[in-house]
Structures are given as structure tokens and as C-alpha cells.
Amino acid sequence: MLTVPHSHIRSELKNGALWIMFDRPSARNAMTTDMEHQILSLCQRAADDEAVKAVIFAGAPAEKPAFMAGADFGELESATTSAEFVALERSSETLLETIEGLRKPTVAAIAGACVGQGALLAMSCDIRLASPSLKFGFPIARTVGNCLSAKNYARLTVNLGVARVRDMVFSASLLSANDLREAGTIREVVEDDRLHSRAQEIAEHVQTLAPLTLWATKTSLLRLRDASLLGVQDDDLLSACYMSADFQEGVRAFMEKRRPVWQGR
């Protein structure tokens, strides 16, 4: 097991599978910029190292399982300009595109909280399995009042469908493991105590398949998805939400553990 001192990311190479585990239990593994950089570095290792045949993303073992409970609100609270918010969004996008662009198969082993940026990371993987403890979604209309980028909505709709994504956001509700299995978004539901071992089994199985076939398939599917985004602009929508009084109120309310009061501006 490799862990950088004071790091919230752990990694381990096991039988050809590089495990990348989020280890920030006090915040249910909420993503920080430092964590993004460490994951990007490990993805580069996965791309360059011939010993790595597959990559598994998971929350580190903890008393209360969690995959990733969104982005770090402290960093959101410290951003004040439209450019800073867009930069945070683009930083997240760089990570997701890197994961999607890996030539090697990626597996997400999901348990507990998987919301916001965590849900997008899971959707960027090739194979997903989850435990019954999974709570998946984007309750942003209830919590902080921001929005997703057009590309992130595309990530969701290709996996869940437009109607389900719209309902998930408009109801500010979280989906269960069975909901995602019914939608075809996850391969199987596995008990928490078997989730990691089953992910390892899947990662070892895909190593026996033709790597060029897998790479060409995932690349073609990404190209089909991204073709629908040609000419789509969303900086105005991101700025309108992130620079709003509602977003500032949402972040304050979240940090103060109270319900936000929305004004629509």
C-alpha cells in the first residue's frame, strides 16, 4: 500500500489492478484540489506502467463506507469570482476526461455516499458495481444551488437517460443501488464486505480480454457522446449559478447546517 504522508489518497497495485482509494473519512471523502492532483498523477502512472492492466476507484475501508461525498465545500466557499468557479469546474473536468481517456479498463466500486463530483467520477469509469449502502445523486437544488456543466449532464444522460436525470435533479433525491441496477448503470449489487474483492475479480477478468477491443469501444462511445456537445456553450449558465446570491446562501447554509432560503437571484 502506498500512501503519501498527510495524503487523502491511497494506492496499491494488486495482480495488475491499480487501486486508487479515497481516504478522507471525516468528510466522507469529499474531493479537494490536492486529491485531484494526486489522482491525476496516479492515472498517469496507470497509463505509463505496463504492469498496470486495470484501475479500480473506491473509498478506503472505513467504519462508515463512502465513495465520495462531492467536492470540498471549503474550497467552494473560498472562491469569489466567476473565473475562480469556472477554474474549479474545469479542474474537475480535466480529471474526469483523464479517467475516461485511460486506455486501460476502469472499475468503480461504490459504497455509501456517491454524490456530486463522486457520482461524476463513478460515471466516468467503464464498469461500476455497488453495495446496498449506495446513495447516488446530485441534490444541488436542495443544498447549494449550483448547476452542472453541459458535459457532465451528458455523462449522466448517456448512463441514466434524460428523464431520470431531470427527475433526479428536480426532486433533489438520491438513487439507490437497485435504482442504478434497473437503469443498467451498474453491473451488480454486492454486499459491503465483498465489494472490494468482487471489484478485484472483475479487474482481473477484464485483463484476459482483448485490450484493443476494449479501448476502441470506450473511445468510440465517448466520441458519440461528445458529438452531441459540439457548439454547446455553458459558461453563461455556470457563471449565472455560481455567481448568484442563491449559491452564496446555499454554501453558507450547508456550512451552518441549516436549510437555505432561495431567492432566485
| CATH code of 188's domain | 3.90.226.10
Residue 37 is part of which domain span? Answer: 9-193
pLDDT of residue 5: 45
* Number of separate domains in the chain: 1
Structural domain contains residue 173 = yes
Helix (H) or strand (E) holding 162: helix 162-171
Structural domain contains residue 54 = yes
Distance (Å) of CA 36 to CA 86, 92, 139, 233, 260: 16, 7, 22, 25, 28
Beta strands in 65-196 (DSSP E): 66-69, 106-110, 113-115, 127-130, 135-137, 188-189
Structural domain contains residue 63 = yes
Structural domain contains residue 200 = no
Structural domain contains residue 261 = no
Residue 78 and residue 87: Cα distance in Å, rounded?
13
Structural domain contains residue 1 = no
pLDDT of residue 246: 96
Structural domain contains residue 139 = yes
CA triplet 93, 185, 146: central angle to 5 degrees? 40
pLDDT of residue 1: 53
Quick check: helix, strand or coil at residue 139? helix
26 alpha-carbon distance from chain centroid: 18
Structural domain contains residue 208 = no
pTM of the model as a whole: 0.94
pLDDT per position in the chain (265 positions), as tens? 554 444 899 999 999 999 999 999 999 999 998 999 999 999 999 999 999 999 999 999 998 999 999 988 777 777 777 777 777 778 899 999 999 999 999 999 999 999 999 999 999 999 999 999 999 999 999 999 999 999 999 999 999 999 999 999 999 999 999 999 999 999 999 999 999 999 999 999 999 999 999 999 999 999 999 999 999 999 899 989 989 999 999 989 988 999 999 999 9
Distance (Å) of CA 17 to CA 25, 97, 106, 225: 23, 20, 9, 27
